[in-house]
Amino acid sequence: RVAVAGTSYGGFVAYSLARAAGPGRVGPVVISNSDLLKTAEDDRAFLQRAGGEWASMAELLMPLDARSARRLMELSFYRRQVTSMLPDFLIREGVQKLFSDKREEKIELMKAIIIGTDEFQLTPLEQDVLLIWGDHDQIFPLDKAFAVKR
């Protein structure tokens, strides 16, 4: 038996693995800042919190330019001043390394994990589950943690 843990989209992987393998193979599950109940409305609300400039979640969560990457970092870090210290060339280099590889597959994953789609249905796990969530999370707000817990 193994324990599994996942943060953000990795939480979907941890949840799916625990559900598919069952408690005989997967023991405790740790899910961190991963909205397993994400809806299309949640996506729209997030894009508004981000400033309303992006047409899709993929544009902001998998940026191709330094401006979008900087905005994603501002939303991701509690202390935003950290992002202002990074020069654009470092951000551009990071964007190329992180978001270029398998981009289409990642976009398909983002679409598939919206609750209520045929691809993803949330059911309670038999295993013990620890939810870890930041109370200042701007991508997946804290109230979503309580909904996932329920």
H-state helical runs in the chain:
9-21, 40-49, 57-61, 66-76, 81-84, 88-99, 103-112, 142-149
Alpha carbon distance 42, 38 (integer Å): 6
Q: Are residues 130 and 110 in the same domain?
A: no
Name the burial class of residue 74, with classes exposed (0-12), middle (13-18) and buried (19+) by CB atoms within 10 angstroms of its CB.
Answer: middle
Q: Are residues 13 and 32 in the same domain?
A: yes
- Among 4, 9, 15, smallest CA distance to 124 is for 15
The pLDDT tens digits for 99-123 are 778 888 888 877 777 765 555 677 8
The reported pLDDT for the residue numbered 42 is: 86
Count other C-beta atoms under 10 Å from residue 38's C-beta.
22
Q: Are residues 103 and 140 in the same domain?
A: no
The reported pLDDT for the residue numbered 69 is: 84
Which domain covers residue 96, as residue numbers?
38-119
Please report which confidence band the pLDDT of residue 20 belongs to, taking 50, 70 and 90 as the band edges. Answer: very high
Q: Are residues 105 and 47 in the same domain?
A: yes
**Two structure tokens written together for 10:** 């990795």
Q: Are residues 42 and 11 in the same domain?
A: no
Question: Considering its fold, how many domains does the chain have in total?
Answer: 2
Q: What is the mean pLDDT of residues 86-110?
A: 81
The pLDDT tens digits for 124-145 are 999 999 999 988 888 888 988 8
Q: What is the mean pLDDT of residues 2-24?
A: 93
Q: Are residues 70 and 105 in the same domain?
A: yes
Q: Are residues 42 and 115 in the same domain?
A: yes
Please report which confidence band the pLDDT of residue 66 belongs to, taking 50, 70 and 90 as the band edges. Answer: confident
54 within 8 A of 60, measured Cβ to Cβ? yes
pTM score of the predicted model = 0.76
The reported pLDDT for the residue numbered 91 is: 83
